[in-house]
Structure formats: C-alpha cells, structure tokens
Amino acid sequence: MQKIVKFMDYVIVQMSGKQFILKRNNWYDFDFIKNLNLEENQIIYLNKVLLLKKKQQESNFRELQIGKPFLSSIKIALKFLQNIKKKKILVLKTKPKKKYTRLKGHRKLVTRLKFI
C-alpha cells in the first residue's frame, strides 16, 4: 500500500526519462504527456520517487529516504494545470557561398503540473 507523504522539503522523481527536483507548491513544466485526457485542477499520482527529504511535523528533525531505484511505498500528488507551448526557437540553416538560407521555427509542447 502506497502512502502520500506530507511535510516534505523536496523530492526527486523520474518522469518521461528525466529526473526532476520538486518542491511543494511550485509548478513545473514536463515534456508533453500524450494520451492524458485531464481537466484543469485534476490530480494525478506519481510513484517513481527516487529520493525523499522530509521533516517531522513538530520538530526540526529531517529524514532522508533513498530508493533502490524507487521508493516503493511512496507516491506524490501532482495537480494538472494546463498543456502549453513554450517560446518559439528559431533554427537557421545556411550553406556558405551558395546563397542558401532557411529559417525554421519550433514551439515545444509541455505539460504544466503543480506539486501539491
């Protein structure tokens, strides 16, 4: 049985092949997640937790848990905010001495989630 942890300083998770350091009440942009038909403010749970640093509720004692590779008994809650496009980047391709220039733009799709 997995439990949702509260009173944590930060957590390191793996999502879409990358590792992220998440702090509570901050939002983060992840690679676009396909086939996820979510509405705004819907909560999803992630169980690929690599490291967890938490503090006790009423004391200054801090506890560090390290997974091998994942912590099997812990999952975290993420709130879906929106799917957005990042800023446009421009790619310039030229061939010297041939008068060949091509300019192409690209906007990356990302999924914005808030760690609650």
pLDDT digit string, tens, across residues 15-66: 888 999 999 889 999 999 887 788 889 999 988 999 988 876 666 777 888 8
| 87 pLDDT above the threshold of 90 | yes
- Residue 75 or residue 95, greater confidence: 95
Task: Please report, rounded to a whole number, the percentage of residues in the chain having pLDDT higher than 70.
Answer: 89
Distances (CA, A) of 45 to 54, 66, 82, 97, 116: 18, 19, 16, 55, 11
What pTM does this model have?
0.74
> 116: exposed, middle or buried (C-beta count within 10 Å: 0-12, 13-18, 19+)?
middle
Q: Percentage of the chain with pLDDT > 90?
A: 53
Q: Give Cβ neighbours of residue 52 (< 8 Å, ≥ 6 apart).
A: 5, 8, 11, 12, 64, 65, 71, 74
Q: pLDDT band at residue 7, thresholds of 50, 70 and 90?
A: low
